[in-house]
Amino acid sequence: MTRSAYAAAQPDAVALSERVHWIGALDPTLRTFDIILKTANGTSYNAYLVRGSDGVAVIDTVKEAFAGEFFTRLESVADYSEIRYIVLNHLEPDHTGALPELMRRAPQAHLYISVRAQAMLKALLKHDQYEYTAVNTGDSISLGDRTLSFLNTPYLHWPDTQCTWLEEEQTLFSGDVFGCHYCDARLFNDRVGDFRFSFEYYYAHIMRPFREYVFKALALIEPLALKTIAPSHGPILRDQPAQYPAHYRRLATPALSSEIGGEKSLLIFYISSYGNTARMAEAIYGSASEVEGVRASLYDLEGGEIAPFVDLIEEADGIMFGTPTINGDAVKPVWDLLSSLAVVHTRGKIAAAFGSFGWSGEAVRMVEDRLKGLKMEVPVAGLRIKLIPSDEELDACRGFGTAIGRALIGEDEQTVVDMA
Amino acid sequence: MAKAKVTFLDIGVTVSVPVGTRVIEISEKVGAGLIYGCREGDCGTCLMKVEDGWNNLTEPSVVEEKVLRENMAGKHCRLACQAQVLGDIVVRPA
């Protein structure tokens, strides 16, 4: 169904309850979201309207191009003069695109945003006239017989993100948390098509890099007696809503920790043209394995796929890359893996690079720069060896492996330099 | 000339430097993980966490304060390209 047909088929707001309505918009023809996400059947921009005995609140808006649908649906259940509060759970343009026009139509409405959204508000909306109140976990606003309270859930998936809890309806307006790009006019999870893939795909690309924050948010959300989760994209989760926080917890829980136990996991990835970088890798692997408390693993990138390696790196404490230099650069399989790490948390991991080269050997420094750019710690300068490693050079490799292993267990050597 | 010690925790290196040196200049020479972009206090790339000796750096300028705020820098974070060493400090990439 085309976008206009969707809108025409269902022009009015949709009731979640007598007091809560969906006033969002459907975007069934979108095939790529934010450059990086595929959307096989489009997405939705969910916005909601809550009516209390003492006024109306609008929670989030829609992408600017969909403002017409949003306003039509809003007008089907409320008058602009009734709107007292506008709550923004997340300031990304797909949820704030219609805000300037909404503020023009309801100038009396007061904005509520998270503490961390303040710096973004002006930058995103290019408007410094809006008055707002910054709220945090525990703050609430009253609509008479309905109360909205706020849960600060930073980095899910922007610094500004928050959830809004409607106690009397046991409804959580969760922003992008528990959302997915799945467009279905039937709206509710007990009526739409099979969206499981979209839910997990969205988590993997949007929430996964912020795993530690997922756990913090779940600690706030799981105690709630959830009757409905109303996210800002995808189906409204009214059937067994508690299974979605539970699924987030499963997705965020490290799978490997139980096997590795208390040891530090070191992954050594390499690729080799003539076996020289491979010999370096094996020497490094051998000595790193001998450091007590380190569990080392060796992988030839030529024989692997990117995705499982990304999964391994997410759980690892240390990562090493061995690459030859070809035409002044590291080779493509190394860059393919290094450019796929934006979806996992890499900050603070111990990392290092090494490799054999024929002429100039730039690859090791390039890889080191990338590792530092990913906020990993590179405690030992990379090891470069010209062509075939000699016995002495293989000894240097073994020393390199030991040094990285010792850095992993916190026993790296301290160096003193005099530049005074 | 007065000297101070700068320790880079990420690489386990301590450097003795003349007072007044900018942290980024030292970091670059010893290969610590403080990456940088503009080196003019504008981009925020060289953000570092001062683990010890917070008061042994020059005061942040108004411009640095603004960049720190915009980058939502945590407590005791500074820009390595702006902060000059006055006494012993211990730092790591933020």
How does pLDDT run across A232-269, given as a tens digit for each residue? Answer: 999 999 999 999 999 999 999 877 666 777 899 999 99
The reported pLDDT for the residue numbered A414 is: 77
- Same domain for A286 and A339, yes or no, is yes
Q: Tell me if A414 is assigned to some domain.
A: no
What percent of chain A has a predicted confidence (pLDDT) above 70?
A: 96
Sort out which chain B residues have CB atoms less than 8 A from A369's CB and list them: 35
pLDDT above 80 for A334: yes
Last residue of a domain, one of A237, A252, A267: A252
Within its chain, how far is the Cα of A268 from the centroid?
A: 26
Average pLDDT, whole number, for chain A? 93
Question: Of A1-10, A25-34, A115-124, which range is least confident?
Answer: A1-10
Average pLDDT (A219-226) is: 97
pLDDT above 70 for A328: yes
Tens of pLDDT, residues A113-138: 999 898 888 877 776 678 899 999 99
Last residue of a domain, one of A221, A252, A283: A252
The whole-angstrom separation of Cα B23 and Cα B50 is 11
Average pLDDT (A138-146) is: 97
Sort out which chain B residues have CB atoms less than 8 A from A377's CB and list them: 10-11, 33, 92-93
Q: Tell me if A416 is assigned to some domain.
A: no
Sort out which chain B residues have CB atoms less than 8 A from A420's CB and list them: 1, 3, 16-18
- Look at B93 and A419 and tell me if their CB atoms are within 8 Å: no
- Same domain for A188 and A327, yes or no, is no
The reported pLDDT for the residue numbered A5 is: 66
DSSP assignment letter at A261: T
Domain of A222 in residue numbering reads as 3-252
Query: A14 pLDDT band (50/70/90 cuts)?
Result: very high
The answer to whether A115 contacts chain B (CB < 8 Å) is no
Number of A/B CB contacts below 8 angstroms equals 60
Distance from the first to the final alpha carbon of chain B = 30
Average pLDDT (A268-295) is: 97
User: In terms of CA atoms, which chain A residue is nearest residue B47?
Assistant: A375
- Look at B16 and A119 and tell me if their CB atoms are within 8 Å: no
Local structure of A331: helix, strand or coil: coil
For residue A269, the domain's CATH number is: 3.40.50.360
Sort out which chain A residues have CB atoms less than 8 A from B31's CB and list them: 378, 381
Q: Tell me if A326 is assigned to some domain.
A: yes
Q: Tell me if A415 is assigned to some domain.
A: no
Q: Tell me if A149 is assigned to some domain.
A: yes
- Same domain for A74 and A118, yes or no, is yes
The reported pLDDT for the residue numbered A142 is: 97
- Same domain for A286 and A393, yes or no, is yes
User: Domains in chain B and their CATH numbers?
Assistant: 3-93 (3.10.20.30)
Query: B92 pLDDT band (50/70/90 cuts)?
Result: very high
- Same domain for A184 and A316, yes or no, is no
Q: Which of A159, A373, A418 sits opposite B72 (nearest CB)?
A: A159
- Same domain for A179 and A309, yes or no, is no
Sort out which chain A residues have CB atoms less than 8 A from B1's CB and list them: 420
- Same domain for A81 and A210, yes or no, is yes
Q: Tell me if A418 is assigned to some domain.
A: no
Tens of pLDDT, residues A39-69: 999 999 999 999 999 999 999 999 999 999 9
What percent of chain A has a predicted confidence (pLDDT) above 90?
A: 85
- Look at A419 and B11 and tell me if their CB atoms are within 8 Å: no
Tens of pLDDT, residues A378-398: 999 999 999 999 999 999 999
Q: Per the omega criterion (within 30 degrees of 0), is the bond before A157 cis?
A: yes
> How many domains is chain A built from?
2
Give the Cα-Cα-Cα angle A102, A86, A167 (nearest 5 degrees): 145
Tens of pLDDT, residues A179-192: 999 999 999 999 99
Tens of pLDDT, residues B17-73: 999 999 999 999 998 989 888 989 988 999 999 999 999 999 999 999 999 988 888
Last residue of a domain, one of A220, A252, A284: A252
- Same domain for A146 and A220, yes or no, is yes
Q: Tell me if A419 is assigned to some domain.
A: no
- Same domain for A87 and A213, yes or no, is yes
- Same domain for A126 and A213, yes or no, is yes
Beta pairing class for A415-418 and B13-18? parallel
- Same domain for A218 and A310, yes or no, is no
For residue A169, the domain's CATH number is: 3.60.15.10
* Nearest in space to A141 (alpha carbons), one of A104, A117, A177, A110: A110
- Same domain for A65 and A187, yes or no, is yes
User: Residues with Cβ < 8 Å from A152, sequence gap 6 or more?
Assistant: A114, A115, A136, A137, A162, A220
Instruction: Map tokens 């600690």 to a residue.
Output: A219
CB atoms within 10 A of CB A419: 14
The answer to whether A119 contacts chain B (CB < 8 Å) is yes
Shortest Cα–Cα distance, B59 to chain A (Å)? 22
